[in-house]
Structure 1
Amino acid sequence: MKGVTVEKPGAPFVVVDDLEIPEPGDDQILVKSIATAIDPVEGYMQGTGLLITAWPIVLGCDASGVVVKAGTAAASKFKPGDRVCGCTRLGIPGYCTFQEYFLMDTNLVIPTPKSFSFNEAAALGVGAETACLGLLHGIKLEQNPTPKDIWVVVFGGAGSIGQYSIQIVKALGYKVVATCSKRTADLVTSTGADAVIDYSLSEDEQIAELKKITEGKFFGVWDSVAKTEKVGRRALQEVSSYKEGKVYATTDDWTPMENYDDHTTFRVELGLIGRSEEEMKAARLLGDSPTLNEDIAGDIKLIHDLAEKGQLKPNPLQVIKGGFEAIAGAFELQQKGTKGGEKVIVEIQPE
């Protein structure tokens, strides 16, 4: 089959046509890749070899497509023709999405919401699943829609994870204040944020804004961009009125961090999705997500249900046509940055 490979760390993307079609295991499905998202993790993997288990490797972990074959146990859940999406295992041959067909573990599959196109669904997995891990399993928000006079602080509201985070927080009845640029403030507000803070302000100014907006009524800070540890912890220490139960949750699972007496730290480790307990123990540096696969499997129903109700809407997209030959250019575009909150999607092949 056709796909896009990387020969070694730092090597360019190369289109090939001699890849073997993987065979699904008992509780797996084989999916025809229709559209794939370009995520920041692909840049880390290509440049450093992070999470790669064998070379050469096909990258891509966030996609949508159509089931073409199901394993024996999987056949009771999915059938050929079903539209599916989600995040696959990272860096393991057979599971990567920059190829014609890829494997998915059935407990980690999101049935594509009816209102989502293939392109929109391709951006759902990593963004929504990461948001759930940080908010539900890190900060431990209550999963009921009752309105609450409690704020959640989201750093990075315009990114894919940030946009889904805002919508999930609102669906669960909390208020949300998010940081973003002046350029993306309207997008973040339209996504559901009750208030926004310009991330170009100094740390002291951001802290002052948080005090004014929230009056200290928050116990959770969610750093969805892995760049705001200092100001995020200051918010918990200097602004939050809570005496216990405070959490700093982050997508940064690689930077050494200190322990704090007044709040806990939770690191999302989505890169280990789908791996066995033994593989996780070998790869994990921090161990904040011991039940990662079980957590994601449980979150999928919430993600799907909110999307079906219209409470979880897709990211704005920048769609690149051209199939496998367009992957390298789309990757460069993602690295440079899009024009405000857009997710880069490549249309791989027709349905």
Structure 2
Amino acid sequence: MNRTSQGARDTPPSADDRPSLSEDRYRRGTRRTGAEPLAASWEPTGRRRRKRRRGVKGLVAGYGWRIYAIPVLLVLTALVVLDTAAPSTGAGGDPGTGQPAIAQSTTTSAGPPEATEKPPADIDLKNFPTAQLPDGPKFSEQGAGTFAVIPGTTPQVGSGGKLYRYQIAVEDGVEPADYNGDRDAFARTVDGILADPRSWIGTGQASMQRVEGEPVDFVVSLTTTGTTHALCGFQIQFESSCWHSGTKRVVINAARWVRGAKVYGNDISAYRTYAINHEVGHVLRNPHEGCKENGKAAPVMMQQSFGVANDYVAQLNSVDSSNRYAVEANGLVCTPNPFPVAPQ
């Protein structure tokens, strides 16, 4: 048997044996022989060429419904690009962040705001949960439990009643930001409140004098929240201050000193006046009171840190055995008032 070797099978045909591309069998319509390549005609026979339309009709005929989708897609694409490029803002928001913008104050003052008995217009004093601590700056939460007395004295103010001698102190661990970095300024604020004729010296119950040596009747003490809770208790789960008779301290909660109370709005000066007068009122043995007349100024001994609506304050006091019956739930609602001598 004759076998073809691998080399013989792979030998390419000579140039003389290759078909010529110019032969007739490669022309359209001629018969194709075996092993010859296919030849497709650009103009198939037997089919009549249609005349191509021009203009819009030609586009519609060629592309059908797709021609109408093109402008719609172009408009949608433009809208997406514009929406992506524009800064993101929420309602009243900060451009570029989508977060609510921080309201900027349009008023300036050369000094602290004056105390006012007008409640903020946007607070519902009867139904709003006014005991909540307002939003605001950070405050000192944990201190050492020891206090540093701020040096200084004042002349006696007031001429009636008992003379009460006092000092002013700041707990070790209270951050300077809580008293604006100036302890002397904090002390002057307290002195000014107690010397105001609308404060306790104006009631005829007491006169006041700041002293450096012993004995003293009370020490006004700016205190961290942790130490405040330890001294005052925390049965009502909202920040407050207190009079701690065991240590003779008027405990002023740093959280409230920094942020105030809801019913006072942004009038932090008025709230601080209230806080000092209320707690010193306990030094003078004055108990808590409720609102006496609807729509009138609240008694300074009302728990205005929590609110000025009797129903709401009474509800909070229901969990505190020492204050459970201090306020009657009778529907009366007062307005904030920081002084013992209430405006007429």
Is this a same-fold pair by TM over 0.5? Answer: no
More helix per residue: 1 or 2? 1
TM-score of the superposed pair, with normalisation by structure 2 = 0.25
| TM-score, normalisation: structure 1 | 0.24
Higher relative strand content:
1
